[in-house]
Each structure stands twice: as structure tokens, then as C-alpha cells.
Chain A
Amino acid sequence: MSIFVDENTKVVYQGLTGSQGRYYGLLNREYGTQVVAGTNPKKAGEDIEGIPIFATVGDAVAATGANASCIFIPAPGVKAAVMDAAEGGVEFIVVITEGVPAHDEAFYNRLKRDFPGVQLLGPNCPGIISPGRCNIGITAGHIAKPGGPVGIVSRSGTLTYQALYELQQKGIGVTTCVGIGGDPVPGTTFIDCLERFEADPETKAIMMFGEIGGSAEEEAAAFIQAHVTKPVVSYIAGVTAPPGKKMGHAGAIISGGKGTADAKMDALRAAGVKVGLNPTEAGELMAGIVAGL
């Protein structure tokens, strides 16, 4: 099994007619993802290499049975696109777009209230891959080995790829790899993923990559302590980042001694998590755990 997405997931790409949306939408289809539709109000009725374009997500859902959406449109339009997807009836919404204003992200609270069954992933994330079943977003599918037993959740894109690749080199498969993104208000949190990995029988161990800033890793540590029985390996990027400096991700900023890598690693260790000091070490720790399963 996998979490959030699998071979039955049918995806509509909002922004399939743009250059990025087209490039990754077609790559995802090539991987085997059911890319069933695109949206663009000005190009309804047209198609992209056989993928039909609709005016709204609602139209796409009615015609194709799409149950997930992937958003590639520029930041100013993301807030409206997310609402279009939720109102259109999909259950899972992935926002790849970076540079979405924090106030727009906070507004997605409305999703939780008005559309409690809808799960948002991102913004500013690489997407999600259940290897061999479904790949939504910008992850290179061939660096992930299908089958499990490891589930991955990460705030950073390239570190996620690094993790997938290192596990593949060691012959270890992955059930699902979720890139939650580094923005201040992620739609899907570490805890959302930990909860599902814990419930997924095929996932036997969990890899969690965090970053400095915020308190998401500390909250995840508390959740792991209380609710996760499967072994967890973690790595936190930004151990040596100077306080107050923003490093690339909006989320990766520390201020006033809070949100430091040390504080996060201590919280995770206290929850029984094995913490690697670099991605390779985390991969080796995971290999050790998988060998003992």
C-alpha cells in the first residue's frame, strides 16, 4: 500500500497548458500516473498530447472522475486555483508553485472548515511519489525503488531526492515519499504523514527530513513519542546556520534560539528517533533498520 496516492489516483493538472505544467504533467504520465485532465478557462475543449483541457476542475471531475489535482500555475493565481480544486470535488491537492504569499497560505484554513475531506500538499513542494504507482510533481521517478518498506516525509526537495536515491542504491524500496515543502504554512504536515505511515501496513519504517525554523519537527517528535510504533530515522538540515539568517526556504529561519537544529534533534532523540548528522548517515541508519526487520 501507499499513502495519499496510488495507481487509482486520477490527476487533473491546473496549469497543464503552461511550460512547467506541460513538462512535468507529461513526465508524470510517462511514469504511469493517470493524468486525466488539465484546466485552463481560455483553452477548454483543446488537449495537450491527448489530455483534455477543461475550464474548471469541477468540469474535469465530472468528465473524467479525477480525484486529485496538481497546481503548476503562477503564485498570484494559486489561492483561487486551490478553491477551484476543492469546490470541484477532488480530495487531494498538490501545489508545486513557490512564492505563494503567507497570508494566502493561512487562508487555506478555510479548506479545513468548508472541505474537511480535502488534503492540501504544499505550496512550494516537490510533490508526492508512491513509486511504481503514481508520481505527482517534479520528482525524478526513476530514482525511487518501488515496494517499501520505507515511507519518507521531507521539507526539502533535493534532500528528498538524495534520500530516495541512497535507499535505491542500497536496494531499499519506498512506499510513498511526500515532500511537504518548506513554506511557513504547509498544507500537509509531518504529523499528517506520520499518522498515515503508522497506519499503512506496507510501511515498516519512516524517514523524516526536517530543517531549521518553526516548530514542526518538535511537534512531530511529540507525536512520534505518543503514537508511532514504527522505527523513525531523521536528519535536520541547517545545524550550522547562523541565527536570523534566511536560507532559501521561507521556513528555514531561526530566531531567538528557537527552531534550531540542536533543539529539533534533541526532541527527536528523546522520542526514540535515530538522528543522522548528514543525509548519507541517515540513509545508513535506515539501511541498518531495514536489515533488522
Chain B
Amino acid sequence: MDLFEYQGKLFFSRYGIPISAGEVAFTVDEAVAAAERLGCPVVVKAQVLTGGRGKAGGVKVANSVDEVRTHAGNILGLDIKGHVVGRLWIEQASDIAREYYASFTLDRSAKQHLGMLSAQGGVDIEEVAATDPDAIAKIHVDPVEGLTEARCREWVAAANLDPEAVQGAVDILVKLYEAYVDGDADLCEINPLILTTDGVVKALDAKVTVDANAVFRHPDYEEYDAIQHRDERETAAHDKGLQYVGLDGTVGIIANGAGLAMSTVDIVSQVGGTPANFLDIGGGANADVMAGALEVINNDPKVQSIFINIFGGITKGEEVANGIIAALGRVQIDAPIVIRLDGTNAELGRELLQPHLSETLQMQPTMIEAARTAVALAEGTK
């Protein structure tokens, strides 16, 4: 789950990482009141879960309360890559001398945490990595051993930060690692980490992603679930507890298991169609889950046909078939459906489905045949 910048900063500050004084604002009046308390100049920053805010006009310096009013009015409601700005972070402006980059994330293949530090911050770090890889000092941290201050000091030296920034950076990196581990974060990134003209090192931005699987250790993370960027279809699926990802095509997809669902998306594309979504209904295929899945797909106006792809393992074919039949009885489906049922007792399941088949409810023996039929139906109804 991604956090807004201000949530990330508040998270950092709980671990003692210095940030600029600031307040969150949901309205222009709140922004103005915050600026009055903080004292101008302030920076008015759009809070969105996407990059490129600055270029889109979502970050503005205001030298007076009047300017805060103007900028806040312009930025609230702004559409940045499909993310509409609903809240602002108003913070005291900083006099920046140097911009650095610091982050912790998990290196999956090394099975260790990876820290990255660069004297070239404030820009796209992937570009730095591509053009000047030596400019990024990397360290691997064993999760069991943790990170000592002494190692941080060596790391900062390797990154060639300015001498006056060294102590501040070491302090922050020790705390950042603590926040990253203690907070069950997938990513803690500060870009830029700044050195101010008066010699203070602090986090000017915060990009934090926390592990949704760790909510049981952090009940307060529930609030982040509500701000995740989802379209209408994804919200509906999320509310039903379904694994759904919205795509742009016309063939609605329901499958059991993430791998099979992904594979179904692939095969629809391979035969020339466009998948409308990825939807994994999990191991079984009972009527409740199937009905919920069909409702979500049915509400997608772009869907012209539906491909239900089920492989029965422990769940037997006849149980799957009965689940589908019951679900179809509950939901009025607009688009034609193609079913592919295979695996344990598939023949029994197919026999049960047979009497229900029609122009709008078809069955195919293989994945590829079912995909072809679903794509043809989607195109025929355009």
C-alpha cells in the first residue's frame, strides 16, 4: 500500500527523521490557515500516489498567504495522470544547498535488504542508475544482523556526500532503516534528502510503501487501504474481497488461481482479443464467489463477452458447475459467456452445464478454443 508524501513524512518523523514543519489541508481555507500558522514562504504540494507532480504544476512555492490561496485553488482538483488531487501538504520552504537520494527496499534475489544512497538526488534515480551506476552507493543488509551506525558511516563515505552532511545523513539512515523494518515497509525512499544552506540534513520528500500483509502488526495501516488508487470496477471487486485488476479491453475474465488468471489474460491477447480485466476467484468456485465475480464484470460497460476459465483440483468439476449454474441464476448477465471447465471430474461438470447452454452460454473443451470463441463473441457484438 502506497502512502501519500505527508503520511510518509509523518511516519518518518515518528522515528526521529527531520522533516520540514507542515500541515495537511483538504480545502483552500485549510491551506491558508496552515500557511498562516507556519509562516510564509511555504510550499503547496499536491498529495497524489504518482510521480511527476512538479511537472504537472502540483508543487508551488508561495511567498504570501494570497499566493497560497491561488496555488491551493489551482492544485486542488488538478488531474495528475488520472489521479485527482484531493489534499495538499503545506510546509515551510527550505533553502536547499544540495540534493541527495536515499532508500531501503528488499532485494528479492539476494534475500537481503538493499540500501541505496547517492549524492545525485532530486532526479530520476533510475536514470542515474542507467547512466552513472557508480554514483549510487549500495549496501546489502542482512535482516538478522541489521544495520550498525559504523556501517552507515562507511556507506555515507562511499557515496561521497558533502562533509557537512555526513553526520546528519548517518543519523537519518540509521533511523530510516529502523522505520523500514519496524514499519514492515516494502520501500522507504527519500528523494531528495537535502542539505540546507544552514547545514541541516532532512527529508524533503517521502515515498513509502507498506506491506498489506503486515496490517495485523499495524492496525493503523487500515487508513492507507482507503486511499489506494482504484477505478470504480476495482473498488467494487475490492469490496467483495476479489483479486481484480482492471484492464482496457472487451473480454471479461474469471479464473481460479492467480497463475491461471494471468495465463487467461495472455491467451485472450494471443488470439487477438483484448482482456477487460484480471480476476482470480481463488481455489474453489462456489456460487457466492462466482456470483460476486460476475457482478463485478457485468458492471464494466466495455465488456462484450465473458470467459470463465476453471480448473478443478480438490474442488470437483460438478461442484464448479453447480456453482456457476447457481450464480447465473442470481445475476442477470448482459454479455455472452464462454466456459472452459477442466480438471477433476470435468466430464461430470460439463454434463451438468450441458442443458443450460445456449447462444449466450457456450462451452469449449480447451483454453485456446474458449479464448477464440470469447474473442469472436466480443467482436461480433461491437
Contact = CB atoms under 8 A, between A and B. Distances in A.
B226 interface: no
Interface string B246-273: 0100000001111111110111011000
Nearest to B342: A165
A238 B313 contact: no
A158 interface: yes
B84 interface: no
B113 interface: yes
A106 interface: yes
A150 to B, nearest CB: 18
Interface residues of B, number: 49
Interface in A232-258: 235, 237-242, 245-252, 256
A76 interface: yes
B310 to A, nearest CB: 9
B126 interface: yes
Given A103-B211, A106-B106, A248 B275 contact: no
Interface of B: prevailing SS: mixed
Contacts of A248: 243, 258-259, 261-262, 278, 280
A139 B342 CA distance: 15
A249 B342 contact: no
Nearest to B343: A165
A211 B259 contact: yes
Contact of B283 (A110, A138, A240, A256): A138
Contact of A247 (B108, B144, B278, B367): B278
Contacts of A256: 126
Contacts of A75: 213, 216
B245 interface: yes
A138 B314 contact: yes
A179 to B, nearest CB: 10
A80 to B, nearest CB: 13
A99 B143 CA distance: 19
A102 B213 contact: yes
Interface residues of A, number: 60
Contacts, number: 163
Contacts of A209: 259
A18 to B, nearest CB: 16
Contacts of B213: 75, 99-102, 250
A106 B113 contact: yes
Interface string B281-314: 0010000000000000000000000000001111
Nearest to B212: A99
Contact of B275 (A27, A110, A240, A278): A240
Contacts of B109: 214-216, 219
A218 to B, nearest CB: 9
A256 B130 CA distance: 12
A267 to B, nearest CB: 13
| Chain A CB within 10 A, most for which of B109, B269, B312 | B109
Given A139-B313, A158-B257, 7 more contacts: A101-B184, A106-B112, A157-B258, A157-B259, A162-B263, A235-B263, A261-B266
Interface of B: 106, 108-109, 111-113, 126, 142-144, 181, 184, 186, 211, 213-214, 216-217, 243, 245, 247, 255-263, 265-267, 269-270, 275, 278, 280, 283, 311-314, 342-344, 366-368
